[in-house]
Structure 1
Amino acid sequence: MTPSRSPIHFTNELEVEASPETVWAVLVDPRTWPAFYPGVEHVRLLDGHHSLRLGTRFETNLAGQDVFASVQEFQPRTRIAWGGYPKASEASRAYHAWIITPTPKGSHLWTEETMRGPLWNERAKQDRQQGRHCPLGVLVSGLGQTSPAAQEVTSQLLARWDAAVLAGINSMQETGKISRRLDAKRTAAALVAAIQGGATNLMSTGSTTSLEAALDTGIDYLRQFQNTRGR
């Protein structure tokens, strides 16, 4: 599907300290899919294949819909894409591509998802921004429980997020906005865990309630250490 002609178009990218082989193993292994996409309960390959390959047809439940899809691009350790439609609306199409580029420290991940048609248009109105469809969000959520390869990718992603939150807290302490009495490392770890849990709930149910509660609680906790007289 041409992105410029699709009303719903997501792209995202991230650097991870995991080899292209590790990332590829996660993407093509159907056993990881119940965690690979939150809300997915099954993946049934229809051609007798044990892993995804070019032309593999499969059925799954995705974004709350029973979906029929097939692998339409397949360049080992470099690019994979699948496309299909929800059984409830064959006029509604979706296409999801992943590009993996090796880097000195691991891999650069770039993902693109396009959707069009009446069913997806209606779902987009109900979800906030990317919501449950966030491509990199679904890769991480729950993935660490599936295989050593998945654990490696997940741990690297979460470590990056934890470092970013920690850097923000340290910056606020350096500038005197919050007290140095706050344990920055423990707080950063707790915030990432809470936000990830809320994001998982969002992608599974479409509700932002848990994510909003996690953000509000985290901000309220930081405010308890707010300085009113400088450092």
Structure 2
Amino acid sequence: MPTRALVFDFDGTLADTESAVLRSWQQVFEEHGVELPLEAWYAVIGTQHTTPAMFALLAERVPGVDTEALRPKTRAHVLRLLEDLGPREGVREYLETAKEQGLGLAVASSSSGAWVNPHLERLGIAGYFDAVLTGDRHKAKPDPDLYLAALDALGCEARDAIAFEDTPHGVTAAKAAGLTCVAVPNAITESLDFGQADIVLPAFTAKPLEALLTH
């Protein structure tokens, strides 16, 4: 069957926001005299549970810390780190090719719409997408709900769509929904196990979109 649609994860896939977010959390932990263990980060990356998990871990390591007071400071620091961030290399070419081919395009992200949509606008790629599905309206990954909602929004079957992900949790969600999944890990996730993915690319620039499409 020909490919009719592409569904992209946002954080870490379309833009490497995860590196900035991790750096921010590492700094928060360092400021309180403790280290953020990477295995704790990897356990929640790609899900909706990152912030509560990090604050819970900090409270466990630093009894009495006021996590509520830290929330606005942590968010502001992340946003500063992201000010000059662009799409991952090769992403815009993928989106351009998809539009030229007449493919439907969607974002399926465990993050909230309040996080995803402004970043898509700032990155200059919001206009490419026919639908943006987010974790404040759907069950977060690794549940397949976001991908099922994306397929519904695009009006296509799972066998006709390709998902792009950067975390094992995301790959699990895409495969559970029945999509072919291409993993494109970033610097933070490249050491993780992507055995569930149909294809693993080191970068979007490693293979043109045309080479992935079935006609």
| TM-score, normalisation: structure 2 | 0.30
The structure with the greater share of residues assigned to strand is 1
Kindly indicate whether structure 1 or structure 2 has the higher relative contact order, using CA contacts under 8 Å at least 6 residues apart: 2
| TM-score, normalisation: structure 1 | 0.28
Specify the structure having the higher radius of gyration (Cα). Answer: 1
